[in-house]
Structure 1
Amino acid sequence: MKKNQLIYGIRAIIEAIDAQKPINKLFLQKGLKGDLYKELEVKIRKSGLSVSYVPIEKLNRLSNNNHQGAIAQISPVAFHNFETLIEKILQEKKKPLLLLLDQVTDVRNFGAIIRTAECTGVDAIIIPKSGSAPITEDTVKTSAGAAFNIPISKVDHLKDVIFYLQASDITVVGATEKTEKSIYEIDFNTPLAILMGSEEKGISPSILKILNASAKLPLLGEIGSLNVSVACGVFLYEALRQRIN
């Protein structure tokens, strides 16, 4: 992490939260106490920010000892309000194409996904606040700068997003091996949101139950799955193929 991505000190971080700065993650020293720290914790809970409680040595490595027990990592891009973003897209597009990511955790996978999404005309990417890869310089670099060109929204719960989209007549299709339907049996030429799961666990079982449809990729080799960024590319380009034709 470069220093210009970091904010040091509890008071400075409180002010950053109040100013709605795009904070990726907070690093707090284990065992911190005091009224100011309690104020910060309240704001963290209300904002749903991701926090790691770490030993002082970790903070020292990030800041050359100038941290006062708290460091915030700032995203290089700003995030969009979900409902405002979706309403704007629905006003402008008859058949929007959205991408939902269920806890994709690798920053380079995330960057590659953003790059492909931008190239295939995805209107927005939605990720959960908890458990998702942060947008770092590596993410931006892997995306070839596409992270600056496509709206990204962080939300509290993907389930709420899916219900909202379905109520807006947007079909939500999940990429999973736990289905009999092939990707080539699904109609993507419709108002659509594609949901990709995490690298290790795929889509959460509770989320799979509420999707409109799910689809898998044919795999003819010995390996049981593809890298999530590769699989995402196949899904997005199948959607694009159907829409172009």
Structure 2
Amino acid sequence: MQKEDQIFGIRAIIEAINAGKNIDKVFIQKEAKGELMQELFKVMKSKNINFSYVPVEKLNKLTSNNHQGAVASIAPIEFVTIEDLVETVLESGKTPLFLILDQISDARNFGAIIRTAECTGVNGIIIQKQGAAPVNGDTVKTSTGAVFNVPICKVDHIKDAVYFLEASDIQTVAATEKTDNNIYDINFNKPIAIIMGSEDKGVNPSVLKMVNHKAKLPMYGTISSLNVSVACGAFLYEAVRQRLK
């Protein structure tokens, strides 16, 4: 995180949130206490700001200034609403191709996925407000700037996005090993949203119950899984292959 991408100090972060600054994530020192910190939590909750607890060493790495136990990252982009995102794509006449990232928390994986998404013509990426990787300097660098070319939408819950997309006649397909169907059984020529889960947990079971399709990648080696950004690339390029026909 570069200095121009961050705000440090509890009061400064509170004021930035109240002023409507595009706060992407707040890093809070573990076991932080005090009235001012409680006020920060209250403000973050009211605005549904993403935050995580970290050791003080992490905060010290982020800034050499007096952070008071809190450092916030400012997103370098403006997020779009899911309503505006879907409406814009449908009105364009394109066959929608969306990407939903369920709790992918590594900024470099996120950046790599955004880069592939941009190259494969993804119309928009949907992430959850809580638990998602921050859109920060690492994300921008790893995406090689693609983060500025692909609309990104934040939702309260991934299930909300699935409901909304399916109500808009956009089918959902979840990447999961918990299925007999492989990726080549799916018709990607339809309006579709691909859901990728975190490397440690995969797609949330409650989300899996809602999707139209589940698909897995054939695996022939002794290692049972791929890095999520690589798996995402395989799914997206299968969509590209089918749509080129």
Scaled by the length of structure 2, the TM-score of the pair is 0.92
Q: 1:217 to 1:6 in 2, by over 3 A?
A: same
Deviation, 1:106, is 1.6
Distance 1:162 1:209 in 2: 11
Deviation readout 1:187-219 (Å, 9 max, x if unpaired): 110111000111111111111010000111111
- Give per-residue Cα distances to partners, 1:51-81, cap 9 Å, x unaligned: 2345656544433242244321112222222
CA contact (8 A) 2:109 2:229 kept: yes
User: Using the alignment, how far apart are the partners of 2:186 and 2:57 within structure 1?
Assistant: 51
Q: Structure 1 stretch 6-15 or stretch 212-221: which is displaced more? A: 6-15
Cross-structure match for 1:20: 20
Q: How high is the sequence identity, in percent, across the aligned residues?
A: 59
2:118, 2:146 within 8 Å by CA — same for their partners in 1? yes
C-alpha displacement of 1:14: 2.2
CA distance in 1, matches of 2:58, 2:218: 44
1:37-186 to 2 correspondence within 5 Å? 37-54=37-54, 58-186=58-186
One-letter amino acid of the counterpart of residue 121, structure 1: G
Question: Shift of the alpha carbon at 1:10?
Answer: 2.7
Letter of the 1:10 partner, please give it: I
CA contact under 8 A between 1:59 and 1:65: conserved in structure 2? no
Matched, 1:192 2:181: no
Deviates more, 1:133-142 or 1:59-68: 59-68
> In structure 2, what is the Cα distance between the partners aligned to 1:31 and 1:202?
31
Maintained 8 Å contact 1:105/1:199: no
Give 2:220's aligned residue.
220
The separation in 2 between residues aligned to 1:94 and 1:198, in whole angstroms, is 29
Aligned AA (2:89) = I
Which 10-residue stretch deviates more, 76-85 or 208-217?
76-85
Partner Cα separation in structure 1 for residue 19 and residue 84 of structure 2: 19
Secondary structure of 1:72's aligned partner: strand
Q: Are the structure 2 counterparts of residues 166 and 76 from structure 1 closer, same or farther at C-alpha, using a change threshold of 3 Å?
A: same
Gaps of 5+ in 1: none
Distance 1:25 1:234, change over 3 A: same
Matched to 2:98, the amino acid is L
Aligned to 1:240: 240
Q: CA RMSD in A?
A: 1.8
- Structure 1 residues 52 and 104, CA gap change in structure 2 (3 angstroms): closer
Q: TM-score, normalised by structure 1?
A: 0.92
Bigger mean CA deviation after superposition, 84-93 or 145-154? 84-93
**How far did residue 139 of structure 1 move?**
1.5
**1:12-51: per-residue Cα shift (whole Å, max 9, x none)?**
21232133323222133444323x5444322201222222
Deviations 1:128-180 (A, max 9, x none): 11111112222111111101110111111000110010000000001111111
Residue type of the alignment partner of 1:32? K
3-state secondary structure, aligned to 1:116: helix
Contact persistence 1:25–1:72 (CA under 8 A): yes
Q: Is the 8 A contact 1:32 1:69 kept in 2?
A: no
What residue in structure 1 maps to residue 6 of structure 2?
6
Equivalent residue number for residue 32 of structure 1: 33
Flag the 1:150–1:6 CA change in 2: closer, same or farther, 3 A. Answer: same
Structure 1 residues 216 and 58 mapped into 2: Cα distance closer, same or farther (>3 Å)?
closer
Equivalent-residue separation in structure 2 for 1:149 and 1:107 (angstroms)? 17
State the 1:3 CA deviation.
1.6
Structure 1 CA distance for aligned equivalents of residues 108 and 220 of structure 2: 26
